[in-house]
């Protein structure tokens, strides 16, 4: 009986008294899951817009004039955009699969990994789209420079975010 009472009181204890929040492990997992879902909502919108943009390109009159390089970049971007869109939807499926199985910790941990992979996919699609647009509109050299610039910007944001999170 005492063991059950100890387990119940453990579930109601502040999981990290030093973080300024008064929350149990379950409350923290619920908050983390809600935050992951909010991040995915934002990411999904951007991914869907980029994917829609890419899908319309093939139906434009000038598409047939693209060279092999542009077509290859385009097709790679369509595949990465589709995979990224699928990744962005995966946590919903995962939630359905684990619903009411008391697996919230697993759900949050796997969801975190999926969000990171989704963000990587968005970054690749964004860099490739900039490269493709500048290549078609200006020149191959401009495309490579613009794509590299976008890569540097995204890398700087990622590095800064990582450094800030490690200080916390």
pLDDT at 91: 81
More confident residue, 134 or 115: 134
- Of 147, 125, 154, residue with least CA distance to 57: 125
pTM above 0.85, yes or no: no
CA trace torsion 78, 107, 158, 31 (10° rounding): 130
Q: What is the pLDDT of residues 71-104, one digit of tens each?
A: 999 999 999 999 999 888 888 777 777 667 776 7
Residue 144 has pLDDT above 90, yes or no: yes
Residues 9-20 have pLDDT tens digits of: 555 676 666 666
Residue spans per domain, the chain: 24-167
Q: How far apart are CA 129 and CA 151, in angstroms?
A: 11
Q: Mean of the pLDDT values across residues 122-144?
A: 96
Long-range Cβ contact pairs of 20-24 (< 8 A, separation 24 or more): none
Closest by CA to 134, choosing from 149, 121, 120, is: 149
Question: Residue 130: what pLDDT?
Answer: 96
Q: What percent of the chain has pLDDT over 90?
A: 38
């Amino acid at each position: 009986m005492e063991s059950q009472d100890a387990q119940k009181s453990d579930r109601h204890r502040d999981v990290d008294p030093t973080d300024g929040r008064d929350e149990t492990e379950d409350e923290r997992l619920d908050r983390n899951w809600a935050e992951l879902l909010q991040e995915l909502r934002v990411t999904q919108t951007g991914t869907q817009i980029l994917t829609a943009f890419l899908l319309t390109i093939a139906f434009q009159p000038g598409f047939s004039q693209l060279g092999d390089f542009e077509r290859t970049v385009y097709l790679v971007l369509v595949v990465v955009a589709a995979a990224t869109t699928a990744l962005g939807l995966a946590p919903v499926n995962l939630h359905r699969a684990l619903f009411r199985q008391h697996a919230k910790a697993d759900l949050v941990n796997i969801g975190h990994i999926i969000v990171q992979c989704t963000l990587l996919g968005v970054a690749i699609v964004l860099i490739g789209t900039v490269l493709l647009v500048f290549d078609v509109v200006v020149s191959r050299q401009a495309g490579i420079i613009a794509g590299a610039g976008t890569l540097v910007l995204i890398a700087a944001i990622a590095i800064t975010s990582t450094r800030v999170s490690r200080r916390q």
